[in-house]
Chain A
Amino acid sequence: MASITIRDVTKSYAKMQVVHGVSLDFASGEFVVILGPSGCGKSTLLRMIAGLEDISGGTIAIDGTVVNKLEPRERGCAMVFQNYALYPHMSVSQNIGYSLKVSGVPAAERTQRIQAVARTLELEHLLDRKPMALSGGQRQRVAMGRAMIREPKVFLFDEPLSNLDAKLRVQMRSEIRKLHRRLAATSVFVTHDQVEAMTLADRLVVMNGGRVEQVGTPAEVYSRPASRFVATFVGAPAMNILEGTVTLDGLSLLGDSRKLNVSRTGLPVGSKVAAGIRPESVRLVAAGTPGALEATVDLVEELGAGRVVYVDLDGAPFSVVTSETVHPVPGSTVGLQFSEADLHFFSSETGSRLDVFKASVPEPAL
């Protein structure tokens, strides 16, 4: 059990800087997921915590001790790799017990601890097999066992589920979650899969371009995205964005012809802003309903429980998630309705969230 403190950490290779001054605090026993697109620096950050990459600037402390200069083995972290990195020439039990062997734990105690871990992970019948003879899910478990046996202060996961098929991924996800509840060790989990991130995380860190975009619980990140990037990256289908301009009486969206008036701004007239609305916050109504926006249906995706309707709103793509029993036909015209309270606003310049727009009083539906 350990807290992790990251202060102004940077990482640069010869000419490229891949991590720009990241500062984060992970509480003891927390399950943190770092989410971001590939190349956002999330794996690099994880590997710096592990000690597999040098830290170019700033400090990382585990339990108050700065570990910048410590070797991987001295940091008390265990890691589960994306491709599992099992030693192909060792049996499952040798794989799991290798760290104990290195640190000189006597054979008898080693066997006992391997047995215990194997029991937890239901690997007992596989202990003598070589990794080659295991299925993907079994390898995944061995990799977990290898990390668990050391009873580390910190668990690090580097996209460990990305090589599994969809069904197994869901199953392993809940197993990891259960294990964490039992072991209660601080865990840092890196992924590019937002569903994985939402379901696993106590706290979510969203990264982009080597910077932290937002830190918060999954619910917070979903409901109050801190930037336009987070808004569009988290949630599927992605949030709809409408470009707008601040006017005298509020805000104009969709150009002058289809003025959509939103009250209460507070920004200088003429500023450019982006308004976002989640597809699941939009209601589909009959064309011609007063106050509704009119759009043409492009495509309907059937999901079983509901459907995603892609429409064309004045030339801009826009999506709606609906569970109602309306069956719009491609090419037909439909009406869109949403509440002003569900709009998120972001500065067009910086992409950051603008809270001045957030109406405190629910406005009537448009």
Chain B
Amino acid sequence: MEKRVTFSRWTIGILFAVPQLLLIFTFFYWPAGQAVYWSLTLQQPWGGGNIWVGLDNFRSILSNADYWNSISASLIFAGISTGLAMFIALVLAALTDRQLAGSRLYRVVLIWPYGIAAPALALAFRFILAPEAGFMAVVNQVWPGFWDPGLDGADAMASIIVAFSWKYVGYNFIFFLAAFQAIPRSLIEAAAMDGSGVIRRFWDIQFPLITPTIFFLLVINITESFQDSFGIVDIMTSGGPANATNLMVYKIYSDGFKGLDYSGAAAQSIILMMLIIVLTIFQFRFIERRVHYR
């Protein structure tokens, strides 16, 4: 879409964009380019600049079992937490949209979790799910040794999934509810006149009409699970036990800043960028559809 009416003094126009351009050049494009450069070079241990190593950094990462472990942990985390957060939010939004008594309250409260910083809710859940105090301790009293995220990788993974999903149910809820409410009331009424009951209307009318939102949220949730998980992992598990929750962003951080392996971290960043770009492109293909229904 373009404006028909514009201003002719375009030198002024460019000036308006300068602050933004300076910012994104300095803090976005330069670092992104730098990441590419680092990923293709290796820093000399005694200074003296970087030497060109081609794709060696990528080769060494991709042949590292730890890295593959990090990828699979990230995918498991992304898959389960996205599925959980979206499914629960969809059910809650669909039911809230029925506008029975009390739905206003739910509409207000269900989005609170999304306002909370990931590390803060991570600390809360670290306590709630602690094996020796908190609430899982009760389960441990009945079945000793049932739950210990400090020792059991699966338990640790479950903990960060619960914390992340709790936050993103709120986020997804906002979008699903908005999508349901964007469906004109008369469509639902027309379907009722056509003889369709509540459940059937959901599947025949409402669900097809919100599929664009589902695709959109799918991509956002997966992307966020790569980024917003950092605080949760750092507070709850520090990537452990035995790297079971060493998700991609956390590994970049620990390799780069703790292990001081800039080149390796840069190569990992590039791979993660690629992954996110692919997801984003996938999303834009569906934006077409989203516009289409309006």
Interface flag for A73 (CB, 8 Å): yes
Q: Look across to chain B and name the residue whose beta carbon is closest to the beta carbon of A147.
A: B193
- B contact set with A: CB distance below 8 Å: 184, 186-187, 189-197, 200, 204-205, 208-209, 292-293
Q: Look across to chain A and name the residue whose beta carbon is closest to the beta carbon of B209.
A: A89
- A contact set with B: CB distance below 8 Å: 50-52, 71-73, 77-79, 81-83, 85-89, 98-99, 102-103, 132, 146, 150
Contact A102 B196 (CB under 8 A): yes
A118 to B39, CA, bound (A): 64
Contact B192 A52 (CB under 8 A): yes
Q: Look across to chain A and name the residue whose beta carbon is closest to the beta carbon of B192.
A: A72
Query: Using Cβ atoms and an 8 Å threshold, which residues of chain B touch A71?
Result: 192
Given contacts A52-B189, A81-B186, A83-B186, contact A89 B194 (CB under 8 A): no
A66 to B262, CA, bound (A): 79
- Find the residue from A71, A73, A132 having the highest chain B CB count within 10 A: A73
A51 to B192, CA, bound (A): 9
Contact B192 A87 (CB under 8 A): no
Given contacts A72-B193, A98-B194, A132-B292, contact A88 B204 (CB under 8 A): no
Q: Look across to chain B and name the residue whose beta carbon is closest to the beta carbon of A156.
A: B193
Q: Would you give the shortest CB distance from A36 to chain B, in whole angstroms?
A: 20
Contact B195 A89 (CB under 8 A): no
Contact B209 A73 (CB under 8 A): no
Q: Would you give the shortest CB distance from A76 to chain B, in whole angstroms?
A: 10
Q: Would you give the shortest CB distance from A89 to chain B, in whole angstroms?
A: 5
Q: Look across to chain B and name the residue whose beta carbon is closest to the beta carbon of A103.
A: B195
Contact B192 A85 (CB under 8 A): no
With A85-B184, A85-B190 known, 6 other A-B pairs at CB within 8 A are: A50-B189, A51-B193, A52-B193, A73-B193, A77-B193, A87-B190
Given contacts A88-B293, A89-B208, A132-B292, contact A81 B189 (CB under 8 A): yes
Given contacts A98-B204, A102-B200, A132-B292, contact A85 B189 (CB under 8 A): yes
Contact A87 B205 (CB under 8 A): yes
A89 to B292, CA, bound (A): 9
Q: Look across to chain A and name the residue whose beta carbon is closest to the beta carbon of B292.
A: A132
Q: Is the interface of B mostly helix, strand, loop or mixed?
A: helix
Say which residue of A52, A73, A88, A132 sits within 8 Å of B194 (CB atoms).
Answer: A73
Q: Look across to chain B and name the residue whose beta carbon is closest to the beta carbon of A47.
A: B189
A51 to B184, CA, bound (A): 18
Contact A73 B184 (CB under 8 A): no
Contact A146 B194 (CB under 8 A): yes
- Find the residue from B187, B191, B194 having the highest chain A CB count within 10 A: B194
Contact A79 B196 (CB under 8 A): no
Q: Would you give the shortest CB distance from A5 to chain B, in whole angstroms?
A: 21
A-B contact pairs, 7 of them (CB 8 A): A52-B189, A72-B192, A81-B186, A81-B190, A87-B204, A99-B193, A146-B190
Contact A82 B194 (CB under 8 A): no
Query: Using Cβ atoms and an 8 Å threshold, which residues of chain A touch B204?
Result: 87, 98, 102
Q: Look across to chain B and name the residue whose beta carbon is closest to the beta carbon of A132.
A: B292
Q: Look across to chain A and name the residue whose beta carbon is closest to the beta carbon of B201.
A: A102
Contact A73 B187 (CB under 8 A): no
Query: Using Cβ atoms and an 8 Å threshold, which residues of chain A touch B186?
Result: 81-83, 85
Given contacts A85-B186, A102-B200, contact A73 B195 (CB under 8 A): yes
A77 to B192, CA, bound (A): 11
Q: Look across to chain B and name the residue whose beta carbon is closest to the beta carbon of A130.
A: B292
Say which residue of B187, B193, B195, B293 sits within 8 Å of A79 (CB atoms).
Answer: B193
Contact B195 A102 (CB under 8 A): yes
Query: Using Cβ atoms and an 8 Å threshold, which residues of chain B touch A51?
Result: 192-193
Query: Using Cβ atoms and an 8 Å threshold, which residues of chain B touch A72?
Result: 189, 192-193, 195
A292 to B139, CA, bound (A): 101
Say which residue of A78, A83, A86, A89 sits within 8 Å of B193 (CB atoms).
Answer: A78
Query: Using Cβ atoms and an 8 Å threshold, which residues of chain B touch A89?
Result: 208-209, 293
Q: Would you give the shortest CB distance from A132 to chain B, in whole angstroms?
A: 7
Query: Using Cβ atoms and an 8 Å threshold, which residues of chain A touch B293?
Result: 88-89
A319 to B196, CA, bound (A): 53
Contact A98 B191 (CB under 8 A): yes
A83 to B183, CA, bound (A): 13
Q: Look across to chain A and name the residue whose beta carbon is closest to the beta carbon of B187.
A: A85
Q: Would you give the shortest CB distance from A85 to chain B, in whole angstroms?
A: 4
Query: Using Cβ atoms and an 8 Å threshold, which residues of chain B touch A132?
Result: 292
Contact A88 B193 (CB under 8 A): no
Contact B190 A102 (CB under 8 A): no
